[in-house]
Amino acid sequence: MEPFVFTPGNVPVLLSMPHSGVFIPPKLQTRMTPAALEVPDTDWHLPQLYDFLDDLGIAAIRATHSRYVIDLNRDPSGQPLYPGANNTELCPTTSFSEAPLYRPGEQPDEAEIDARRAAVWQPYHDRIATELAAIRERHGVAVLWDAHSIRSEVPRFFEGRLTDLNLGSGGGVTAAPELLRRLGDIAQVTADYSFVIDGRFKGGYITRHYGDPANNVHAIQLEQSWATYMNEDPPFGFREDLATGVRPVLRRFLESVAAWARDA
């Protein structure tokens, strides 16, 4: 299976979904635990949630492989995303609930990690880099929106219940302040959803690596609580009744991003 699916657009925005894939190669499946094969830490249903991208002319790149194969939002060197915190690896060995993903003795060695990096991680990032360069050449500016979602309560990573909508900009360094202000203004008038910028989630490797406002490339991550659009327990079903409420907020976010980019 190809490592990603790409859909072209015609506005200065690229949307990335690095954790929406569920594919695990059959040979790898035989080495993994039954719990791992349920891929519970997937960013579930994001293509369905963001079903308006074609209407807005926004290009999208979507991963096909599970983050359990390799995490596309981690540094390829294996450096931790949040130093000093509890992190999952480039090729995770435990789930968010800290359950083992591999049967005893079946964890990947460095050679296998290198192979996965070359086969899955690198093509995804090569396409992001190529597309951002093309967008900037065409429009003078490019914005990367990195779309994520997560269970509303994950004690491994944060205490209590997560804010509904969590925008990350590396602490304000990966996107223009005016762009972040516009997004904050939209969120503040949306009383149904809690919101924060650069709270627990400040943006992963993708946001921090590609965001370069000085060179007219801006990057923002949205980490969204599952509770806003789906059932949080297996089989993790999509809830259109919930999505109907939050999808217009996502659309307003991206309409504002596209408008800001055109103005810029």
Write out pLDDT tens, residues 106-134: 999 999 999 999 999 999 999 999 999 99
Q: The dihedral of CA 150, 170, 222, 207: what is its sign?
A: negative
Phi, psi dihedrals of residue 60, rounded to the nearest 5°: -140, 140
As a whole number of angstroms, the distance between CA 175 and CA 219 comes to 6
Residues in Cβ contact with 242 at an 8 Å cutoff, skipping those fewer than 6 apart: 227, 228, 229, 230
End-to-end, the C-alpha distance of the chain in Å comes to 38
Separation between Cα atoms, residue 147 and residue 198, nearest integer Å: 15
Note the pLDDT of residue 45.
98
Edge-to-edge strand list for the sheet holding 217-225: 4-7, 59-63, 13-17, 142-150, 217-225, 165-168, 195-197
Q: Are the C-beta atoms of 36 and 89 separated by less than 8 Å?
A: no
What number of residues does the chain have?
264
Helix axes 240-263, 177-188, angle to 10 degrees: 150
pTM above 0.75, yes or no: yes
Report the distance separating Cα 263 and Cα 163, nearest Å.
30
Interacting residues of 238 by C-beta distance below 8 A, sequence separation 6+ = 44, 45, 48, 49, 229, 230
pLDDT of residue 186: 95
223 pLDDT tier (thresholds 50, 70, 90): very high
Query: Tokens in use for 13?
Result: 């925005």
Could you say which DSSP state residue 200 is in?
S
**Residue 16 pLDDT class (50, 70, 90 cuts):** very high
Residue 86 predicted with pLDDT over 80: no
The region of weakest confidence among 5-9, 75-79, 83-87, 94-98 is: 83-87
pLDDT computed for residue 87 by the predictor: 73
Q: Which amino acid type is present at position 160?
A: G
